[in-house]
Amino acid sequence: MAIYVNYDGIPGEATQQDHKKWIDVLSLSWGVGRGISTVSGSTNNREASEPSVSEVSIVKMFDASSPKLFTEACTGNVGKTVKIDLTTTGSPGVTYCTYTLTNALISSYSVSTGGDRPTESVSISFTK
């Protein structure tokens, strides 16, 4: 599986035919949680809180998009659109899942290296 991110206004280095200039991503993480309460001894009357959607976190190799992602994290520009495509392996790779984040904002950015090519961890907050 390959993961590609199209962050509004920030070109990446992907060369896959349907994702040229997108950002190549090594891993993706996000989720939804909600509190559930129940009266002791009863499973019929559960109450659920509103769902809480986490930020989307990606890990990627340091590349041409890195300085712009760092700048985006520091300036806090709001209102960007971020598209994330999950594709099958093989050539050319078929997109089987797409997430579109609206009103996106980079909430966290960090770089890590152990002597090899650095990796970046980027968290993206969004409203929809």
Strand extents, DSSP E, the chain: 2-7, 23-25, 27-29, 32-33, 36-37, 47-48, 52-53, 56-61, 80-87, 95-112, 119-125
pLDDT tens digits for range 79-103:
899 999 999 987 778 899 999 999 9
In order, the DSSP letters of 67-103 are HHHHHHHHHT---EEEEEEEE-SSSS--EEEEEEEEE
Q: What is the pLDDT of residue 89?
A: 84
> With pLDDT > 90 as the criterion, what percentage of the chain qualifies?
69
What is the rounded distance in angstroms from the CA atom of residue 12 to the CA atom of residue 20?
Answer: 8
Q: What is the pLDDT of residue 14?
A: 94
Domain chopping of the chain, boundaries:
2-31+52-125
Q: What is the pLDDT of residue 37?
A: 85
CATH architecture type of domain 2-31+52-125: Roll (2.30)
Span 102-127, average pLDDT: 94
Span 49-74, average pLDDT: 94
Model pTM? 0.85
